[in-house]
Amino acid sequence: MRALKTRILILHFCEFCMGSAKIGTMNSPRKYAVIVSLFATLFLTSRLVGEDDRKHPNFILIVADDLGYGDLACYGNTIAKTPHLDRLAREGLRFTDFHSNGAMCTPTRVALLTGLYQQRFGPEFEGPLSGKTQRDIGLPLEAVTVAELLQPLGYQTGLFGKWHLGYRPKFLPTRQGFSTFVGLTSGDGDHHSQIDRSGQLDWWHQETMTSEPGYTGDLITHHAVEFIRQNRDQPFLLYVPHLAIHFPWQGPKDPVHRVQGTDYEQDKWGKIPDRNNVQPHVTAMIEALDASVGQIIKTVKSLDLAENTFVLFISDNGGYRSYGTTHHRISRNGILRGQKGELYEGGHRVPAIGWWPGTVPSAVCHQTWMTMDIMPTLLELAGTLATDLDGVSFSRVLTDEAFRERPSERTFFWRTQRRFAVRQGPWKLVASHHEPPQLFHLGEDPGETTDRSEAAITQLETMLKAYSAWETDVLKNR
């Protein structure tokens, strides 16, 4: 195992020039990010002793949609067959305590691409953007994405799959640092017809709406593989946000559900003969997702890129166990309490696997990390740094076994419009503004079954105080 070849370049000069403005916040100029990138480029030749001259590593970020903590075989699923992801987990680093920033789609994607708590961008990013009522809302162009910071370093950037950060052309990925985009903008589309729940076609090539026959997962995979082939000789960031396993619950062999011109708000789930057991459809989607990962990895290996490519697989939030009173036995969250949309562990603890042959050893990481930590990690691995992010790089976890064994010391926060949660070490607080807070010790009670708020009142008060300070900070510029 060789050590990582790139390290952080601390760019305090940028802070001196621009002050302490937070990258990506509404009052932060984009030129701040440009300065960061320019200085990173200028100083890239400042290498540590013993480092070789290999090119920047490639990054492949694969994000599943609504995949529960227990939906993969390597996380305990005994029904779905996921040999490709299981192999990545065996050969690479499997995280047991990785969390999405949000318990639903849009919030997590904001944090992933900006390295910031999504709450900094406004209340509309604390839940999924609606295609009916929020088509004029999108990730602000002032936000600086990881793609925009990697481009000046020579990276080719491509996104194939679900965007869900804005519907209008002005909000498309091509305006946020991705030179190539094929996919959908909405939160869900028919996996065969690409029709969203409002009955509109939602499939884009760059900034042109089009139609393309095929199963969405297969189309995403095809374009991702072609992107790798076309950019084999230069560093690239490949972002693959799959639509699976989001409803409509359709495997490759399930029928088309949606047609253009029909509103599916009250019938968005797909053609499910047995609504008390959706798992057969979801299992087919999981296995198709696994096959997609297998094709991408096969391409990386066939082009002799594996030893210079970091692959990270995650989910954007937890899975649905049930959907209201209508659909049941959908996804699996293992022993975790709760599901998608909730702030118990089942809503935001997600599977996460890092794979990089020759650099990342076969190991398991029990430290707590979050989606917003991905951006600073990729930037550090590329040899640069964006300052003043909420996220923290976990690049050291990838190779340093001793560091990996240290307990997590950060405090983590989740917030929806109705509830909030705080994590400090093994302690987890779940609360709302209208109900008494609950306190759990995840080390002894990962299923959040026993409320210890009365027995650990000092810990409870400490976490409530921390949340109050955090909330004041992230909401101050809204």
Residues marked active site are found at: 105, 164
E strand intervals along 72-162: 93-99, 156-162
Nearest CA-CA partner of 188 in 269, 111, 98: 269
CA–CA separation, 370 and 157 (whole Å): 23
CA–CA separation, 227 and 443 (whole Å): 42
Helix, strand, or coil (residue 43): helix
Give the dihedral of Cα atoms 267, 272, 274, 277; nearest 10 deg: -100
Nearest CA-CA partner of 187 in 100, 264, 255: 264
Query: CB count, 10 Å around CB of 252?
Result: 17
Nearest-5° angle of CA 466, CA 467, CA 469?
65
Helix, strand, or coil (residue 152): helix
CA–CA separation, 424 and 307 (whole Å): 36
Query: CB count, 10 Å around CB of 448?
Result: 20
Q: Is 375 exposed, middle or buried (0-12, 13-18, 19+ CB in 10 A)?
A: buried
Specify the DSSP element, H or E, that contains 32: helix 30-43
Structure tokens at 336: 């975790």
Q: Roughly how many angstroms between the first and final C-alpha of the chain, as a whole number?
A: 46
Query: CB count, 10 Å around CB of 359?
Result: 21
CA–CA separation, 159 and 168 (whole Å): 17
Nearest-5° angle of CA 81, CA 319, CA 296?
45
Residue 474 is classified by DSSP as: H
SS (H, E, C) 171-213: HCHHHCCCCEEEEECCCCECCCCCEECCCCECCEECCEECCCC
Task: For residue 95, report the phi and psi dihedrals to the nearest 5 degrees.
Answer: -90, 135
- Provide the CA 474 distance to its chain's centre, in angstroms: 20
Specify the DSSP element, H or E, that contains 88: helix 83-91
Specify the DSSP element, H or E, that contains 230: helix 216-230
